[in-house]
Amino acid sequence: MATKVVNLETASYSEAIREAADVLTRGGLVVFPTETVYGVGACATLPEAVERLRVLKSRTDGKPFTVHIGQKSAIHRFVPEMAGTARRLVEKTWPGPLTIIFEVADAQATPVIQETSPEHVPAMYHNGTIGVRCPDDHVASDLLTQTSLPVVAASANLAGNPAPVTAEEALADLDGRVDLVLDAGRSRYAKASTIVQVDAKGYRVLREGILDERTIRRLNRTNFLLVCSGNTCRSPMAAGLLRRLLAEKLQCREDELAEKGYYVESAGTGACSGAPATPEAIEVLRAKGIEIAGHRSQPLTLEQINRADYIFAMTGRQAENIKSLAAHAEHRVQKVGDEDIEDPIGGTEEEYRACANQIESALRRRLEEVVL
């Protein structure tokens, strides 16, 4: 069998992508670039194509290949329900060099199987799991998005040989064994993707690649940042209240939040360092069973903004100040409530209590919008 090679630097790009998608949907094998290594794909709902891929890769174990998707929003066709670690890693790493193995309780109930046939479950799912990759490469993304059938893929090499980082390296193994090769030059990272398995308890790194264990651990965190002006009353109260509300929602103790990947901190746009929370703030929260006596103020920093997933400001003006400091974080900044929460500094304990209640109500509404 002759293998056709299309150089994307000289060929019509749109025609090449259409041709590759057509080859896949007719049962062919296509070699395509990703940001890590070159892959070889087949349509998962065409048994003859999957069998060709199995023979090519000497895979006799019956386990499925990794599903590849062009847009991360497509994950819901294969994994309808995600929360916790799975959701965080999808949101923070895709598209990117991370293969995620998800738990799926009922593969036959997934949209992709409902749209096709239960006979295709073994081509994508195994023992209640599925491996999915969303490459950060425009060629791979366009091909996978344009192909009308789900695609499974593996590295474009024979078993035991190094994964190829150029089309030439892929052809050295697969020339005459595949139908089409899309040549887009050397892959960006020239290194395999990281593989992580996730479940309700967390994650396990099965193979380190571009992303190491330390990076995965950092990406698995969800960071909340509460911001006021002086960081001695509103934002410390908000941080204490949010920890309590998160623990309630996650059905855990507050000291278990970090273990589950949730962190809460506070800062002030005009704060000095080291000041304690006001006595009124301490007493009002103590009455709610929350202790913030150990709090010490800190000024808002760019580092805090950069690591925060959710940034809640007490007023619209503070939200705008944060956005002006870090325009790239604009989509993560919002007022904690619909109305500004005014500073109770210098007020009575009753005014502090009303402020704390206002913050608590606002945080409860915000947490309804956050998928944990």
Q: Where are the domain boundaries for CATH 3.40.50.2300 in the chain? A: 221-369
pLDDT (0 to 100) of residue 1: 76
Residue 198: φ, ψ to 5°: -120, 150
Please choose, from the candidates 369, 361, 23, 65, the residue with its C-alpha nearest in 3D space to the C-alpha of residue 182: 23
pLDDT (0 to 100) of residue 197: 97
CA trace torsion 163, 167, 173, 178 (10° rounding): 110
Please choose, from the candidates 44, 53, 113, the residue with its C-alpha nearest in 3D space to the C-alpha of residue 80: 113
pLDDT (0 to 100) of residue 60: 87
- List 126's β-bridge partners, or say none: 129
Q: How far apart are CA 293 and CA 213, in angstroms?
A: 35
Catalytic residue positions, numbered: 228, 234, 343
pLDDT (0 to 100) of residue 16: 98
pLDDT digits (tens, 9 = 90+) for 254-268: 999 998 889 999 999
CA trace torsion 239, 245, 247, 250 (10° rounding): -130
Structure-token pair, residue 36 = 């890590």
CATH architecture label of 4-218 = Alpha-Beta Complex (3.90)
CA trace torsion 94, 224, 339, 237 (10° rounding): 170
Instruction: Report residues of the chain scoring pLDDT below 50.
Output: none
Q: Using an 8 Å Cβ cutoff, are 6 and 149 in contact?
A: no
- Its sign, for the CA torsion 48, 162, 206, 371, is negative
Q: Where are the domain boundaries for CATH 3.90.870.10 in the chain? A: 4-218
CB atoms within 10 A of CB 292: 21
Q: Is domain 221-369 in CATH 3.40.50.2300, yes or no? A: yes
Q: Using an 8 Å Cβ cutoff, are 198 and 81 in contact?
A: no
Q: How far apart are CA 282 and CA 276, in angstroms?
A: 9
pLDDT (0 to 100) of residue 372: 67
pLDDT (0 to 100) of residue 201: 80
